[in-house]
A and B are shown apart, each in its own frame.
Chain A
Amino acid sequence: MTRLSGGLIDRSKTLRFSFNGQGYTGHPGDTLASALLANGVRLVGRSFKYHRPRGIFAAGSEEPNALVILRGGARAEPNTRATVAELFEGLEATSQNHVGPLGFDLLAVNDLLSPFFAAGFYYKTFMWPKVFWEKLYEPMIRRAAGLGAMSMQPDPDAYDKGFLHCDLLVIGGGAAGLAAALTAARSGVRVILADEDFRLGGRLLAEGEALGDRPAPDWVAEAEAELVSLPNLRILRRTTVFGAFDHGIYGAVERVGDHLPTPATVRQTLWRITAKRIILAAGATERHIPFANNDRPGIMLAGALRAYVHRWAACPADKVAIFTSNDDGHRTAADLVAKGVQVTAVIDPRRDAKALGQYPLFAGSVVTDTKGRLGLSHVQITRDAAPVWIKAGVLGVAGGWNPNLHLASHHRGRPEWSEAHQAFLPAPAGGPPGLTVAGAAAGQGTTQAALMNGAEAARAALADLGISANLPDLPAASDAKGNQHPLWHVPGKARAWVDFQNDVTVKDIKLAHQENMRPVEHLKRWTTLGMATDQGKTANVTALAVMAELTGQSIPQTGTTIFRPPYTPVSMAVLGGGDTGPHFRPRRLTPSHEWAAAQGAVFVEVGQWMRAQYFPRPGETTWRQTVDREVLATRAGVGICDVTTLGKVDVQGRDAGAFLDRLYANPMASLKVGMVRYGLMLREDGHVYDDGTCARLAEDHYVVTTTTAQAGPVYRHMEFARQCLWPELDVQLISTTDAWAQFSVAGPNARRLLERVVDGFDLSNEAFPFMACAPLTVCGGLRARLFRISFSGELAYELAVPARYGNALMARLVQVGADLGATPYGTEALGVMRIEKGHAAGNELNGQTTAQMLGMGKMVSAKKDAIGTVMTRREGMLAETRALVGLQPVDPADPVTAGAHLFAEGVAQDTWSDQGWITSACFSPHVGSAIGLGFLASGTTRLGEVIVAANPLEGKSTRLRVVSPHFVDPEGGRLRD
């Protein structure tokens, strides 16, 4: 017998699917698990350690056994629980974690060797000989371990993220959740109802119950229809709320396209839900009972069996037995009988157990063993030490129910043991604020109680928000209690599984106890209990109880386990969401990007920016050729570079000068209007933070620049100074980085070139000297700002125009300057020229540098209280002798390599004789050899000395001469002419 009558499947349509290459059929409404069971397939996988045959154990997301690789190719999805995989046309699934066919796994030899693989065995061996660990033992272990295999191909599907806000989030669409959602939604508040299943109803779909005068699924359909009609309620189906985070933020994954052959748009969406109140109505998970060989395919949770029979009309065997320690198991038996399934035995350790229907009852008995190599065939029943074997293809095990309180303990709140419920219940305090637990998750396990409790929880949650809601009329429902009488395990010599996936048995727990691994965390870590993909949902409480029995303590004395996100495993792709390729992070383009691209520029990522690195011309075969040309053309004629990426901050207000005086180590208030000054900014700990320029456009108006990399942090730092340190100053800040396209125009012909674009502006050295600045117009009336500053050491200007004109201005400058040798240059040439000039940049300003090291110690004014000034007076900073020097190879053919370490000649090269390192290096077409900058101990007094640059990483060592860092125009005549 496989398919029964009834069920919530659409028999009018047939879906074809395959498992391990074998074709089967099912119907819409099936899961892969229900369809396999309906086809009589019991063996679906292998366990982690012993490779024991495993079947379908549960009917929901707690499944520990029935893990498959779903789909194939790049979409292959290992470790997928067959119990939550919705059937679709063409579904392919394969079993995992075996060598050879599933029915004859070569690694099943591990099961024979299991005595050697007791808990923690690997900590005690594989230590000799030492080299064998990486070479032999570990590779062997790694190959045998793991579960499913990844495709190793990029995930081809798209993923999405989004943000939702609501007054009430209801997690779980079973009896309690539906009642809560109805109550709240009718009051008009904004409600989100999230359910992990593809069909609302929860256990209501899995029972044969009536609600009022109708079958439960009919009531569910009616409630759902009402909910769908309410505009203030949103149903998220196939959505798992996986984590409770701070302040009412919940993470949820909607499986948008997982039930389709291929997703129509995205496969999954990550929702971040911000909710004022939350009702957790996640139901309960049934416990099993460990007994000898309790892990064979066909042995499953009794409640799951009931669900398969009612919801999916699937029963995987003709003869079914039930092992239960409570009344709930008898319900399963009665339901099966009513469905026409042959129940061969109901085994109940209670001597006074009563049958609920027509089936053989073995009261006062326990299951003590099973048979069946790849699937259950026989069950051994023992009463008063007298065993009998009976035939059964399926054994339903009912050990009571554990509330699904996981999310309630995501804030590290500890669940509390309830003697009355014989289960852990959510603690009254310590859970996520605003969250209430309702229904079976709160121990309110009967249908009647769940409905009432859900509605009442919603009413109370809304009352808490100051909103009154009426309790809805709820249908009459069953209030049959399960009567939990836990039987934590059946004693015996053979192995009895507690954690199926990780093969943790009662024996392992005993061994942990024997070896003093008794605290629950030691128990878990020593045995790997609860570390499987079901996160211990089916194992942890049982294991605690077994340990409690061994220590003679109560369960709460033994410990509790708390839960952390995620509630069920979540795909990496959906957590990563969005774009992972070129749009992984924003890309900022400079104003002249289009022009540069049209010129064939090569671009480079500089933080978020894409900058032109160099502009190759036909015939140039190496980047060096191009860069040398750009440098020489700039130094001989004029070069143009887009420097928009530098941060720009508008500083205004009566106290702008006083404010900048406190931000920069050097004075700024004394700067004259129309002039620019280099500024050195320290962190409060005295190290160099950033550098840039301050231009004073008016008495109460400065424009300051920052380095490209530090634009954001420096702006934040400035706001900190303004708002937190000196709020009394009248100063206003706003970033204008993107508003202005800024171009460096550098070289002896810079002035002549600019004269061709400015509108009647006197650029003569007298009218507009070095470090002058002014507003002006260019190209027939375009607003612009001009700064006479130089990074290259040449006569140079920076010209800024509104960003939308940047592209055209770049083209114009190159065009009108053709006869002057106007040459666009990129970041490489920029870097070469600043090294030639000895200007510090990112490699020098790495946060570990002092003003003294940069030769700027004297700029730190002692006459004012600027950020960082005081801390430069610490002994260690004063004693710093490393200083920026220029470095040139003794043999001009030798390279200079940034990252090489500096040593005196003839000393042993180790950490303790290390005297510094090369920060930046390049080939200087001006000098005609490689050059570099570096920090060298006592550097300022060692000019002319020959030192060694050691680069053992690349097996090179070169002799360098220490020189001034100013390779070009050390007197600075060029930039002042």
Chain B
Amino acid sequence: MRFSGFRVIAEALTGHKGWKPLWRNPDPQPAYDYVIVGGGGHGLATAYYLAKTFRQARIAVLEKGWLGSGNIGRNTTIIRSNYLLPGNEPFYEFSMKLWEGLEQEFNFNAMVSQRGILNLIHTDGQRDAYRRRGNAMLLAGADAELLNRDQVREMAPYLNFDNARFPIKGGLVQRRAGTARHDGVAWGYARGADIHGVDLIQNCEVTGFRIENGRVLGVETSRGYIGAGKVGVAVAGSSSRVMAMAGMRLPIESHVLQAFVSEGLKPLIPGVITFGAGHFYVSQSDKGGLVFGGDIDGYNSYAQRGNLPVIEDVAEGGMALMPMIGRARLLRTWGGIMDMSMDGTPIIDKTPVEGLFLNAGWCYGGFKATPASGYAFAHLLATGQTHDTTRFMRLDRFERGHVIDEKGMGAQPNLH
């Protein structure tokens, strides 16, 4: 069924009787050519591109809970490609380009909204660093603009310009950045994958890998054994746990990142604003809620909930940056489990087990990467070749000494 405005009108006039399930609820087959472990954003996108772009058949996505219950279901919905290093920027720009045609491609309005991101500058050193970054973005084919203080003021007059501990001296803007409706992305990919024949199997937990002679044969699940030609694991947040079942230790720690939404408010900020001096970033959803976040809680956790100090820290940052939001109220908080990698950069690679592939380590950059991650992982699974944009995101980069450390924090995941 194709979605369109005409369809909505036609259904409205006929009592909505014609709407079909967005996807089937199939029972698992005994075997597939490709089994994707994880029905979050990256897993669904991988299945979608495998089926649609790489024209592979017999694909299943196995999801422990409900589709989209990974971090795609709990994030701050920001899309951007404002990275610095060659190991990252071309990849995220590739993702940005996929975002730009995504909804027309999968015929689902994921509300991709390019209202821009503004990174604030408070010191001369930061301006130098952002200039380097902005240039890196332009050199990779992305867009970037460096603003002075007056230009920032014009763009966001409600920021604290006159009474701030860390005065605003400028900003780096990416106009093509913005937000997307996170659940819509998951549903769009899920529906698209289903249309192309992918079996989306919910409530199916992978409990083990069947590996013989260094080759993966299939997966044990809560719904029985499922054979597989190739297995792609895309379970950010649980990567260490799942890969431990294949006997691997990863350069990853799991950390909780909280995010927040305010009560609905009439439009007050158009795009995304980040405040590095105070650990705060914010956008406003189409429904009117301010969506904001800050630092991770900073300790290993699988608990999917955080603690009060980070809530206070984020709110402090928000108040220092935009004192006008004082009388808005925090409505909901949640905590997602991040795959914090040792250099802050993801991993998309083969593993030492033949036929077993890994997509992990997204830190808190996973949402914006969804399209490119799915595409590149599908490329790797289908062709056996690393997609050009992920050529540095290798698992062995740590031992080879080719880390991609955007923040320069070294092997301490909670600082990335």
Would A and B touch once assembled, by the CB under 8 A criterion? yes
- Docked Cα-Cα span, A875 to B110, in Å, equals 44
B27 interface residue (CB < 8 Å to A): no
Contacts of B409 in A (CB 8 A): 847
A910 interface residue (CB < 8 Å to B): yes
Asked whether B109 lies within 8 Å of A899 as measured between CB atoms, the reply is: no
Write the chain A residue with the least CB distance to B406.
A848
- Docked Cα-Cα span, A133 to B141, in Å, equals 24
Asked whether A514 lies within 8 Å of B129 as measured between CB atoms, the reply is: no
- Docked Cα-Cα span, A138 to B180, in Å, equals 12
Asked whether A847 lies within 8 Å of B405 as measured between CB atoms, the reply is: yes
Contacts of B134 in A (CB 8 A): 899, 953
> Digit string of B1-37 for contact with A (CB within 8 Å is 1, else 0)?
0011101110111001001111111000000000000
Contacts of B263 in A (CB 8 A): 78-79, 147-148, 533, 569
A319 interface residue (CB < 8 Å to B): no
Contacts of A565 in B (CB 8 A): 311, 333
Asked whether A572 lies within 8 Å of B326 as measured between CB atoms, the reply is: yes
Contacts of A48 in B (CB 8 A): 264
Count how many chain A residues have C-beta atoms less than 8 Å from C-beta atoms of the other chain: 124
Write the chain A residue with the least CB distance to B262.
A572
- Docked Cα-Cα span, A115 to B128, in Å, equals 54
B69 interface residue (CB < 8 Å to A): yes
A583-B165, A911-B90 as given contacts; A78 in contact with B128, CB under 8 Å? no
A152-B324, A154-B323, A576-B312 as given contacts; A569 in contact with B329, CB under 8 Å? yes
- Docked Cα-Cα span, A900 to B69, in Å, equals 42
Asked whether B332 lies within 8 Å of A564 as measured between CB atoms, the reply is: yes
Contact segment of B47-55, B226-234, B314-322, B354-362: B314-322
B403 interface residue (CB < 8 Å to A): yes
A572-B318, A899-B131 as given contacts; A910 in contact with B326, CB under 8 Å? no
Asked whether B408 lies within 8 Å of A127 as measured between CB atoms, the reply is: no
- Docked Cα-Cα span, A151 to B323, in Å, equals 11
Per the 8 Å Cβ criterion, residues 105-153 of B in contact with A are 107-115, 122-125, 127-136, 138-141, 144-146
Q: How far is the CB of A574 from chain B (nearest CB, A)?
A: 8
Q: How far is the CB of A714 from chain B (nearest CB, A)?
A: 13
Asked whether A898 lies within 8 Å of B264 as measured between CB atoms, the reply is: no
A517 interface residue (CB < 8 Å to B): yes
A329 interface residue (CB < 8 Å to B): no
Asked whether A149 lies within 8 Å of B327 as measured between CB atoms, the reply is: no
Contacts of B311 in A (CB 8 A): 243, 251, 565, 575
Residue of B21, B132, B138, B287 touching A917 (CB-CB under 8 A) = B132
Contact segment of B206-214, B236-244, B300-308, B372-380: B300-308
A729 interface residue (CB < 8 Å to B): no
Asked whether B268 lies within 8 Å of A150 as measured between CB atoms, the reply is: yes
Contact segment of B215-223, B345-353, B363-371, B394-402: B394-402
Asked whether A133 lies within 8 Å of B288 as measured between CB atoms, the reply is: no
Per the 8 Å Cβ criterion, residues 472-518 of A in contact with B are 507, 511, 514-517
Asked whether A152 lies within 8 Å of B164 as measured between CB atoms, the reply is: no
Contacts of B165 in A (CB 8 A): 581-585, 587, 605
B411 interface residue (CB < 8 Å to A): yes
Contact segment of A434-442, A630-638, A678-686: A678-686
Q: How far is the CB of A596 from chain B (nearest CB, A)?
A: 19
Write the chain B residue with the least CB distance to A846.
B408
Asked whether A876 lies within 8 Å of B264 as measured between CB atoms, the reply is: no
Interface size class of B (residues with CB under 8 A): 35 or more
Asked whether A605 lies within 8 Å of B122 as measured between CB atoms, the reply is: yes
A796 interface residue (CB < 8 Å to B): no
Asked whether B264 lies within 8 Å of A116 as measured between CB atoms, the reply is: no
A377 interface residue (CB < 8 Å to B): no
Write the chain A residue with the least CB distance to B335.
A564
- Docked Cα-Cα span, A695 to B24, in Å, equals 72
Contacts of B400 in A (CB 8 A): 874-876
> Digit string of A134-177 for contact with B (CB within 8 Å is 1, else 0)?
10001001110111111111110101010000000000000000
- Docked Cα-Cα span, A587 to B112, in Å, equals 41
Write the chain B residue with the least CB distance to A49.
B287
- Docked Cα-Cα span, A130 to B110, in Å, equals 12
Interface centre among A576, A899, A917, A950 (most CB of B within 10 A): A576
Asked whether A75 lies within 8 Å of B401 as measured between CB atoms, the reply is: no
A246 interface residue (CB < 8 Å to B): yes
A40 interface residue (CB < 8 Å to B): no
Per the 8 Å Cβ criterion, residues 439-456 of A in contact with B are none
Show 24 residue pairs from A and B whose CB-CB distance is below 8 angstroms, ordered by the A residue: A116-B8, A130-B104, A133-B109, A138-B113, A142-B286, A146-B266, A152-B324, A154-B326, A155-B319, A246-B307, A516-B25, A566-B330, A569-B263, A569-B329, A572-B326, A575-B312, A575-B316, A580-B316, A584-B165, A684-B410, A899-B128, A910-B140, A911-B90, A950-B139
**8 tightest CB-CB pairs across the interface, nearest first?**
A847-B408, A899-B131, A155-B326, A874-B401, A146-B288, A876-B401, A573-B326, A576-B319
Chain A residues close to B by CB (< 8 Å): 48, 75-79, 115-116, 118, 121-128, 130, 133-134, 138, 141-143, 145-155, 157, 159, 161, 243, 245-246, 249, 251, 270, 272, 410-412, 507, 511, 514-517, 519, 521-522, 525, 528, 531-533, 535, 564-566, 569-573, 575-578, 580-585, 587, 604-606, 683-687, 689, 842-843, 846-849, 871, 874-879, 897-901, 909-912, 914, 917-921, 950-954
Chain B residues close to A by CB (< 8 Å): 3-5, 7-9, 11-13, 16, 19-25, 65-69, 73, 86, 89-90, 101, 103-104, 107-115, 122-125, 127-136, 138-141, 144-146, 158, 160, 163-167, 181, 183-184, 187-188, 202, 262-268, 278, 284, 286-288, 303-305, 307-308, 311-312, 315-320, 323-334, 397, 399-403, 405, 407-411
Beyond the given pairs A531-B332, A572-B325, A847-B410, 8 more chain A to chain B contacts, judged by CB atoms under 8 angstroms and listed by A's residue number, are A507-B16, A515-B19, A519-B65, A573-B315, A581-B163, A584-B316, A843-B128, A914-B86
